[in-house]
Amino acid sequence: MTTLPSFLRRHDLLAFAILAALIVIVLPMTLDIFRLNLVGKYLTYAFVAVGLVLCWGMGGILSLGQGVFFGLGGYAMAMFLKLEASSPEATAIQSTPGIPDFMDWNQLTELPAFWIPFQSFTFTLFAIVALPAVLSGLIGYAMFTRRVSGVYFAIITQAIAAIATILIIGQQGYTGGVNGITDLRTLLGWDIRSDSARYTFYFINAALLLGVLFGALYVQRSRLGRLMTAVRTSEDRVRFSGYSVAHIKVFVFCFAAVLSSIGGAMFTLQVGFMSPTLVGVVPSIEMVIYCAVGGRLSVFGAVYGTLLVNWLKTSLSESFPELWLFGLGGIFIAIVMFFPFGLAGLYTSAKDRLFRKRAVEPSAGSESSPGKTPSTSTTATSGTTSTTGLDAKVSAT
Amino acid sequence: MSIEHNTSCVLAIEGLTVSFDGFRAVDDLDLYVDEREIHVVIGPNGAGKTTLLDLICGKTRASAGSIRFRNHELTKLNENRIVHRGVGRKFQNPSIYDDLTVVENLELSFPRGKSVFGSLFFQRDNDVVERIDEVAEMVFLEDHLTSQAGLLSHGQKQWLEIGMLLIQNPELLMLDEPVAGMSMAERAKTADLLNRITDNRSVLVVEHDMKFVEDIADRVTVMHQGAKLAEGSMSDIQANPKVVEVYLGQ
């Protein structure tokens, strides 16, 4: 315990242990590979939701275009896998062997230049991190230095998601169009459709997610995390304390984008395709709902929120396919109105009720512990009483 | 506007003008703030006092004129650069971070690690802790370090914001109505606080409370309709018939 990094607290460690036990031990032991693969797919959305906790929950930046970044990572991985699946031998029946099948169907006779670097696995891994960082950096810089925020930012990101979908569908020969990039077979010669590969990807995904949670928790508990809370309550004060608010926002938006992209790449590996249906407005908004259900301020909550909503989606949409979207909308409205802090908020209030002592602490802290030095005081659970940003959320959607 | 004058004062404002849709909120204003002085700006509502502070700290851009701080032009700098130069500003309504504790509020203003990555890897070491303790004591909040700032009284919030500026150690501190909403006892403590902190800095204050102004001001500037109406010591000002007419009343 003594080696615990300073930003982690005991209950964080417990939350880590519980989540790790659930996704690494309990689920793999109780679910068959089909269901486990499904859980793995849901967990790739959790990367986006964790990013949104930082970006939206902490930073107050509601992005309705996270699907774009999810898609960037997903497409980068899919392009690599597709090229591997399109060796001249495997595509000998095409009029131009050696290029992906959908290009051949669209009368392309050679590989487009931007596909060529994706023949390298190293480049692909690099691109999965770099592409979303650059794109979100450009978008963020352009908007935040002009002080675009709130609803306007949300609308613009939503428009970007719409543009991305239209672009992908329109450029069928280069992107696979509405079907996406399908029929992916091997990764460096290893069959990704085999059960062993699916198990492996599931565990890689779980490990990555835990690592990402660790990183997100670090950001949340750093001075930068407190700054983001500060920006939400008093942006001018932050600015006139000598910070560049725009830079803070650009960073957190980039961070969330990179997390989404990693999730997208893992999605492609586990599900075996990538398509524009995961990029557009609807999936982007769904991802915001996962985050809201889990609790906007809790990175762990985001993971549970994602799992819960997707489990509901799978079980309900099997029986009531038409009604599901209304159900999803209903969940979102209910969360916003009655549980603004989602599952994490429910958990906190339940815990407080169990341990009355803790519930008294925050309000009595000043009187009961005079002279307490700042070094011994822990950072308060910032923002648990704040509802700022929520109003913006309601009007934005 | 001689050269000698410019070098001897901390802040030199010359010909400063800003117009909003043709309305000149500040109109060809000259104002100088000397080393270690408490300079108070008074005037009726709408005289342009808050706008003047907005212009200095970069919140509003000047239409014409210059603002030089230690001979560096401020009118073209970004807000955060102006802060780095050594200008701190307190807003009219206490703007603090309600969701954070007093310690965290002060810590965010600590003048180190103001870049994104500086903040990401910022460590709360002994220097920081000592400085926070010192400033908290100065602004009478040493017993409230772990309180959530939103739960403080109005007067304590005002002090906290002043503390957040002090921890930055600015050479010029600008306060917009620092005692608004404070009790008499709190006003007296604030006046005492301001007199103590001018050992190594200049303070520019906008205030309405004449008793408080009397307690703190080294020099008073009266603004009226964006321009300077009078300037001098508090007793000069109180004796000035023009000032009595437009502001102080009979």
The confidence score (pLDDT) of residue B220 equals: 92
Residue A170 φ then ψ, to 5°: -70, -35
Give the β-pairing of B38-42 and B202-206: parallel
Segment among A23-37, A93-107, A160-174, A345-359 with least mean pLDDT: A345-359
Tokens of A173: 């020969």
Residue B159 pLDDT grade (very low, low, confident, very high; cuts 50, 70, 90): very high
Tokens of A220: 């949340």
B91 contact residues in A (CB cutoff 8 A)? 236-237, 240
| Structural contact between residues B33 and B6, judged by C-beta atoms closer than 8 angstroms | no
Number of Cβ within 10 Å of residue B96's Cβ equals: 27
| Structural contact between residues A263 and A73, judged by C-beta atoms closer than 8 angstroms | yes
The confidence score (pLDDT) of residue A104 equals: 87
pLDDT tens, A38-47? Answer: 999 999 999 9
Over range B154-162, report the average pLDDT.
91
Over range A277-296, report the average pLDDT.
90
SS (H, E, C) A10-74: HHHHHHHHHHHHHHHHHHHHHCCHHHHHHHHHHHHHHHHHHHHHHHHHHCCCCCCCHHHHHHHHH
Query: Where do the domains of chain B lie, and which CATH numbers do they carry?
Result: 1-85+208-250 (3.40.50.300)
Q: How far is B133 from chain A (nearest CA, A)?
A: 8
| Structural contact between residues B29 and B52, judged by C-beta atoms closer than 8 angstroms | yes
Over range B149-175, report the average pLDDT.
91
| Structural contact between residues A186 and A84, judged by C-beta atoms closer than 8 angstroms | yes
| Structural contact between residues B156 and B144, judged by C-beta atoms closer than 8 angstroms | yes
Q: Could you say which DSSP state residue B60 is in?
A: S
Mean model confidence pLDDT for chain B: 87
Integer Cα distance of B163 and B123 in angstroms? 20
**pLDDT of A395 over the 70 cut:** no
Q: Give the contacts of B134 (CB within 8 A, at least 6 positions apart).
A: none
| Structural contact between residues B243 and B237, judged by C-beta atoms closer than 8 angstroms | yes
Q: Could you say which DSSP state residue B68 is in?
A: E
Please give the span between the terminal C-alpha atoms of chain A, in angstroms, as a whole number.
44
Residue B58 φ then ψ, to 5°: 90, 5
Q: Could you say which DSSP state residue B142 is in?
A: G
**pLDDT of A263 over the 80 cut:** yes
Integer Cα distance of A175 and A102 in angstroms? 8
The confidence score (pLDDT) of residue A274 equals: 93
Q: Give the contacts of B129 (CB within 8 A, at least 6 positions apart).
A: A373, A374, A375
Residue B59 φ then ψ, to 5°: -70, -35
The confidence score (pLDDT) of residue A215 equals: 93
The confidence score (pLDDT) of residue A371 equals: 38
Q: Give the contacts of B233 (CB within 8 A, at least 6 positions apart).
A: B217, B218, B219, B220
Mutate to test the interface with A, among B148, B157, B167 (most CBs of A within 10 A): B148
| Structural contact between residues A111 and A129, judged by C-beta atoms closer than 8 angstroms | no
Please tell me which of the candidates A227, A229, A240 has its beta carbon nearest to residue B119.
A227
What percent of chain A lies above the pLDDT cut of 90? 43
Integer Cα distance of A129 and A132 in angstroms? 6
Integer Cα distance of A180 and A351 in angstroms? 45
Tokens of B103: 């310690």
| Structural contact between residues B107 and B132, judged by C-beta atoms closer than 8 angstroms | yes
Q: How far is B132 from chain A (nearest CA, A)?
A: 8
The confidence score (pLDDT) of residue A362 equals: 47
Instruction: Tell me if residue B159 falls in helix, strand or coil.
Output: helix
Q: Which residues of B168-195 are buried (b: 16+ CB within 10 A; e: fewer)?
A: bbbbbbbbbbbbbebeeebbebbbebbe
Q: Does B59 sit within 8 Å of A365, measured CB to CB?
A: no
Q: Does A247 sit within 8 Å of B115, measured CB to CB?
A: yes
The confidence score (pLDDT) of residue B211 equals: 87
Tokens of A280: 């557009």
Give helix A195-221 / helix A245-271 axis angle, nearest 10°. Answer: 170
Integer Cα distance of A13 and A362 in angstroms? 22
**pLDDT of A6 over the 70 cut:** no
Residue B121 pLDDT grade (very low, low, confident, very high; cuts 50, 70, 90): confident
Mutate to test the interface with A, among B78, B80, B143 (most CBs of A within 10 A): B80
Q: How far is A52 from chain B (nearest CA, A)?
A: 18
**pLDDT of A63 over the 80 cut:** yes
Segment among A110-124, B111-125, B156-170 with least mean pLDDT: B111-125
The confidence score (pLDDT) of residue A9 equals: 75
B150 contact residues in A (CB cutoff 8 A)? 385
Interface TM-score (ipTM) > 0.85: no
Cα A278 to Cα A63, A72, A127, A180, A366, distances in angstroms: 15, 10, 19, 10, 49
Q: Does B89 sit within 8 Å of A238, measured CB to CB?
A: no
Give the β-pairing of B87-90 and B172-176: parallel
Residue B176 φ then ψ, to 5°: -100, 110
Q: Could you say which DSSP state residue A377 is in?
A: P
Tokens of A84: 């591997």
Which chain B residue has its CA at the smallest distance from A241's CA?
Answer: B109
pLDDT tens, A125-145? Answer: 999 999 999 999 999 999 999
**pLDDT of B5 over the 50 cut:** no
Over range B212-222, report the average pLDDT.
90
Integer Cα distance of B17 and A355 in angstroms? 60
Tokens of B249: 């009343």
What percent of chain B lies above the pLDDT cut of 70? 96
**pLDDT of A366 over the 80 cut:** no
Integer Cα distance of A173 and A115 in angstroms? 12
Interface of A with B (CB under 8 A): 219, 222-224, 226-227, 229-230, 232-234, 236-244, 247-248, 250-251, 362-363, 365-366, 369-375, 377, 379-380, 382-383, 385-386
**pLDDT of B44 over the 70 cut:** yes
The confidence score (pLDDT) of residue A384 equals: 38
Question: Which residue ranges make up each domain of chain A?
Answer: 22-278
**pLDDT of A208 over the 90 cut:** yes
Q: Does B95 sit within 8 Å of A234, measured CB to CB?
A: yes
| Structural contact between residues A55 and A260, judged by C-beta atoms closer than 8 angstroms | no
Integer Cα distance of A268 and A71 in angstroms? 9
Q: Could you say which DSSP state residue A274 is in?
A: B
Give the β-pairing of B38-42 and B219-224: parallel
**pLDDT of A391 over the 70 cut:** no
Strands (E) across chain A are located at 186-187, 190-191
The confidence score (pLDDT) of residue A356 equals: 61
Mean model confidence pLDDT for chain A: 84
Please tell me which of the candidates B108, B133, B150 has its beta carbon nearest to residue A223.
B108
Over range A306-329, report the average pLDDT.
84
**pLDDT of A232 over the 80 cut:** yes
Q: Could you say which DSSP state residue B32 is in?
A: E
Residue A186 φ then ψ, to 5°: -130, 155
CA A188-A190-A195 angle, to 5 degrees, is: 145
Please give the span between the terminal C-alpha atoms of chain B, in angstroms, as a whole number.
35
Handedness of CA B116, B118, B120, B122 (dihedral sign): negative
Tokens of A109: 């006779």
Residue A5 pLDDT grade (very low, low, confident, very high; cuts 50, 70, 90): low
Integer Cα distance of A65 and A61 in angstroms? 11
The confidence score (pLDDT) of residue A191 equals: 86
Q: Does B84 sit within 8 Å of A380, measured CB to CB?
A: no
